[in-house]
Amino acid sequence: MTSEKNVYLCILAGGSGTRLWPLSRQSSPKQVLTLAGQRSMIQGTIDRVLPLIPLEHILILTDPSRVELITAHLPELPRGNILVEPSARGTAPALGLAAARLRSRLSGDAVMLSLHADHLVSRPEVFLKALRAAIKTARSGRLVTIGVQPSSPETGYGYIERGALLEDELLPVYELKEFKEKPDLATAERFVASGLYDWNTGYFCWMLDTILAAFAQHLPETASLLASIVEAEARSASPSEVLTLWEAIPRNTIDEGIMERVQGAAVVSCDLGWSDIGSWASLYEVLAKDEAGNVSTGGGEHLAIDSHNCLVYSRDRLVATIGLEGMIVVDTGDAVLVMPSERAQQVSDLVKLLKAQQRERFL
């Protein structure tokens, strides 16, 4: 496979993945964790695209508190490739700023791809095909997203309703009909049964001039402020001036602010073996199980008597279980978490509790 010319990748690396506590912490957010295989989530994300996009064209978008961590974590990445959002204002301002900054040094037909730093893809060859299809479609002037054919009625993901088939050379590409918020189970089951919906990955692809024109049309105030920021950065304005402009931008997501409003957006539909690993339960889903349905990961050891469908994470300690069904046990040097897997979403409540108690040591 030859690398794509004039394509730039922005990896969004702003999240923290609190539902993977006690493994995810402020000092080790989800994107730098090694949850499956040998590489961290963000290293894995970079590894996957390197056959297509050279490292110099890979940019990391993150917030000020993460710059040091990401820099240390990715020593091979040119320092200038880490772009800092002054503060979190949603994906529309973040991707708009990245596009505007790229446009200040690249031609308008350069292609920008955006991915998340903390997702798992178990079929990397299909993933590269999807990126190539997305790039090709983007070069035709469309805003493109990548949808994943759902393998189950997952209620933790948003969905995309597909429209007419546009082409089917590398992979099927459809008109993007509508974004759907995370559904309830009945709705998710209907989506999956219909065959008309994909999971929303939050991956996008467009030419710089296409996305900037869409901002100018649908979020003109944002577009204007983004232009002012790039102009201010060009004359090395003070960080506080940049911050003031940035904070004036209305919060918005790229889905709502742009993708749902434009005509002719497209979705590449594929089967990536994809997961956002949004919780311990979803990590369990993607990892290989033993004959009892147990997953033992992290490097430690699980000694099980009559235990089934459990996820045990430990680094260097022995975790022994007797008579457990569908439980999650996580051991990190200073903390242990135990819960049934159906409670995995509530880990964020635990983290909120620790925050409320100002237990910095565990955050």
For residue 332, which phi and psi values (nearest 5 degrees)? -120, 145
Cα distance between residue 204 and residue 9, in whole Å? 10
Sign of CA dihedral 338, 343, 348, 353: negative
CB of 80 closer than 8 Å to CB of 104: no
**Which residue among 1, 164, 305, 356 contacts its own copies (CB under 8 A)?**
305
Q: Does 46 bind its own copies (CB under 8 A)?
A: no
CA distances to 12, 106, 305 from 119, rounded to whole Å, are 11, 28, 33
- Please identify, among the stretches 124-132, 133-141, 199-207, 301-309, the one whose residues bind its own copies according to the rule CB under 8 A: 301-309
User: CB of 33: closest distance to its own copies in angstroms?
Assistant: 18
State which amino acid sits at residue 84: V
Cα distance between residue 19 and residue 142, in whole Å? 35
Closer CB to its own copies, residue 166 or residue 304? 304
| Interface characters, 257-296, with its own copies (x: CB under 8 A) | ----------------------------------------
User: CB of 184: closest distance to its own copies in angstroms?
Assistant: 21
Closer CB to its own copies, residue 30 or residue 218? 30
Closer CB to its own copies, residue 184 or residue 349? 349
**Which residue among 331, 355, 356, 363 contacts its own copies (CB under 8 A)?**
331
Looking only at residues 19 through 38 of this chain, which bind its own copies when binding is defined by CB under 8 A? 22
Using alpha carbons only, give the angle 359, 345, 67 rounded to the nearest 5 degrees: 55
Q: Does 318 bind its own copies (CB under 8 A)?
A: yes
CB of 275 closer than 8 Å to CB of 282: yes
Cα distance between residue 87 and residue 61, in whole Å? 11
**Which residue among 340, 355, 356, 360 contacts its own copies (CB under 8 A)?**
340
Neighbours of 118 (CB within 10 A): 28
In the complex, the residues that contact its own copies under the rule CB under 8 A are 22, 303, 305-306, 314, 317-324, 327, 329, 331, 334-340, 342-343, 346-347, 349-350, 353-354, 362
